[in-house]
Amino acid sequence: MEALHMREGDEIEFISAGRDAVPRDPTVVATDQAWFWDRGWQAGERAASEQIARGRAEEYPDAESMFDALEEEG
């Protein structure tokens, strides 16, 4: 797993190359960045982009104000 830079839960496909088995089409996305490319996460990104495009976004002067507003929404 170390040699292939894999973690538990990663999937890999091997192809036969004579007497050897070699990884097929290794991912171009680093494993530690895969969360961003999850279908659910990408759906949320699209929804957020649509809200921003429609002007349905709020700006806050600082992070504390933003977190306070999120807690109020509950």
| Nearest residue to 4 (alpha-carbon basis) of 27, 35, 36, 32 | 27
> In the structure encoding, which two tokens stand for residue 11, read together?
């999937």
Report the C-alpha gap between 8 and 6 in whole angstroms. Answer: 7
pLDDT at 69: 94
Query: With 90 as the cut, is the pLDDT of residue 1 above it?
Result: no
Distance, CA of 20 to CA of 57 (rounded, Å): 54
User: What is the number of helices (H) and of strands (E) in the chain?
Assistant: 2, 2
Overall residue count recorded for the chain in this entry? 74
Neighbours of 66 (CB within 10 A): 13
Lowest pLDDT segment from 4-13, 53-62, 65-74: 4-13
Q: What is the pLDDT of residues 30-67, one digit of tens each?
A: 778 888 888 899 999 999 999 999 999 999 999 999 99
